[in-house]
Structure formats: structure tokens, C-alpha cells
């Protein structure tokens, strides 16, 4: 996350240029300026954040609430946002007080950077540079999402995400890391509330397979004997037919 201060107008120009590069729907700079409420929310937050750091807490909160009413984005004035943050479609985004967002981050509608309780101190996520967060994803607690990672739409992220990873699911788990597919072989890795049920079911299937294998092993000799008996009966019937055919000669 860049710590170099920028003027508000320099930041606005940089944000518009960033949207033009990252959003194929953006046609002109004027359209971006007038029709992207996600950018308005970021610009209002920059003013509110300066008020917050100057300990003008009430004016900062009032401005953030005005921005929420206008844009549909709720950003606490205490949150730290990096450069070129792009909130596409904007509606329903919530960013908590102690959240930290790096540079070149992209968020879609419905994203929440929230807490998990009433604890004090750092209680919201840290999002590193170049992270993509899909719509309606929830990132909760004092966790860190590493650089260049992607969070799938609708995911619930409750633990740290390594850099260069893709996570999906409820709760989220890693499916790609450093460009390689991550295969889950242990149900514990899913961290789903139903993991224990899946583990119990898998264990039961293994037990039944073991019993079936043992049963087949015990039955195999009897099956061979039955095959021999069947062959003997067939041969005996053939000979009886041959004898009966010769009885009238």
C-alpha cells in the first residue's frame, strides 16, 4: 500500500485513468466522472478520512453517512484505502473502521470487509495490492488477503489467504495457488460445518468395503467347489442320456 500522500485532484485523475484501463464498459472520462458512484464513495472517503485523522470525528461520520446515502457504499472514515481502488457497481459495499485496502484493488457490489464481534483494536481485514474480490463476498475478522489473490463471488473468508491464490466457497478454501490447481483430498481442509458428517460417511464406506472384500475372500473357495459340482452334474446327466438312448437296442 502506497504511503505517498496525493492531492485530492491528483487522486481523482488517477482513479479515472485506472477505471478506463480496467473497465471495458467505460467509454469516456466524462462518463466515468458522472456515472461511477463507487469512485464518488472513494473520493468522499478521502475527505472524511482526513477529518477523522484530524480528530474531527463527528463531521467525518456525517460525511461518510452522506456518502452512503448518495452512493450506497458504507465506508467508515477510519478505514485506510490505497490508490486506484475500483468499486464496480458499488451498491451494498461495506468497509469497516480498521480495514486496510492496498493499491489497485477491485471490488464488486455487495462486498463486506467486516468484523466478527465486539472486540476492540484491529478487527477488520487487510487487503493487499492487486486483489480482486467478487460480488457479495464477505471477508470477516482480522485476516490478511495476500497480493494478487482473487476471492470468488459469494465466498465467506474467515482465514488468511496466501499471495497469488484463488479462494471460493462457504467458508472459503484455496482452489488455485501460484497458478496451480489445489486438490482437496482431506475433508478437514474444506472447513465446512458438514465436514465431520462427510468424514464419518467416508469412514463408514471404507469399513463396508473392507467387510465386503473379506466376505468375497471367504466365499471364493466355495464358489470354486460349486463350479466343480455343477460341471460334475452336467457330465453325469449327459452320460445318463447316452445310456437311456441305448436301452432299446
The verdict on whether omega for the bond into residue 171 sits within 30 degrees of 0, i.e. cis, is yes
Q: Name the 3-class secondary structure at 48.
A: helix
Query: Dihedral through CA 124, CA 77, CA 70, CA 112, nearest 10?
Result: 0
pTM of the model: 0.72
Per-residue tens of pLDDT for the chain, all 249 residues? 554 456 677 888 899 999 999 988 889 999 999 999 999 999 999 999 999 999 999 999 999 999 999 999 999 999 999 999 999 988 899 999 999 999 999 999 999 999 887 778 899 999 999 999 999 999 999 999 999 999 999 999 999 999 999 999 888 888 889 888 877 766 666 666 666 777 778 788 888 888 777 666 555 555 666 777 777 777 777 776 655 555 544
Q: Distance between CA 120 and CA 133 in Å, rounded?
A: 25
Q: Name the 3-class secondary structure at 74.
A: strand
Residue 149 to residues 5, 77, 113, 235, Cα–Cα distance (Å): 26, 25, 15, 74
Amino acid at each position: 500500500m502506497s504511503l505517498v500522500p496525493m492531492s485530492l485532484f491528483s487522486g481523482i485523475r488517477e482513479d479515472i485513468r485506472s477505471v478506463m484501463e480496467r473497465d471495458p464498459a467505460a467509454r469516456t472520462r466524462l462518463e466515468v466522472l458522472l456515472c461511477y458512484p463507487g469512485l464518488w464513495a472513494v473520493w468522499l472517503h478521502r475527505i472524511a478520512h482526513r477529518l477523522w485523522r484530524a480528530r474531527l470525528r463527528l463531521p467525518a461520520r456525517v460525511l461518510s453517512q452522506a456518502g452512503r446515502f448518495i452512493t450506497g457504499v458504507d465506508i467508515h472514515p477510519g478505514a485506510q484505502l490505497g490508490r486506484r481502488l475500483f468499486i464496480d457497481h458499488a451498491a451494498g459495499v461495506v468497509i469497516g473502521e480498521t480495514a486496510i485496502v492496498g493499491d489497485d484493488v477491485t471490488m464488486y457490489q455487495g462486498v463486506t470487509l467486516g468484523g466478527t464481534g465486539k472486540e476492540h483494536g484491529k478487527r477488520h481485514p487487510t487487503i493487499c495490492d492487486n486483489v480482486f474480490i467478487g460480488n457479495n463476498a464477505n471477508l470477516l475478522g482480522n485476516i490478511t488477503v495476500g497480493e494478487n489473490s482473487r476471492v470468488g463471488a459469494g465466498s465467506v473468508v474467515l482465514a488468511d489467504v496466501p499471495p497469488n491464490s484463488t479462494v471460493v466457497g462457504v467458508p472459503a478454501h484455496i482452489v488455485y495457488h501460484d497458478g496451480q490447481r489445489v486438490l482437496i483430498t482431506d475433508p478437514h481442509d474444506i472447513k465446512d460445518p458438514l465436514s465431520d458428517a462427510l468424514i464419518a460417511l467416508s469412514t463408514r464406506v471404507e469399513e463396508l468395503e473392507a467387510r465386503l472384500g473379506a466376505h468375497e475372500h471367504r466365499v471364493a473357495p466355495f464358489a470354486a467347489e460349486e463350479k466343480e459340482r455343477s460341471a460334475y452334474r452336467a457330465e453325469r446327466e449327459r452320460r445318463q442320456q447316452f445310456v437311456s438312448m441305448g436301452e432299446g437296442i
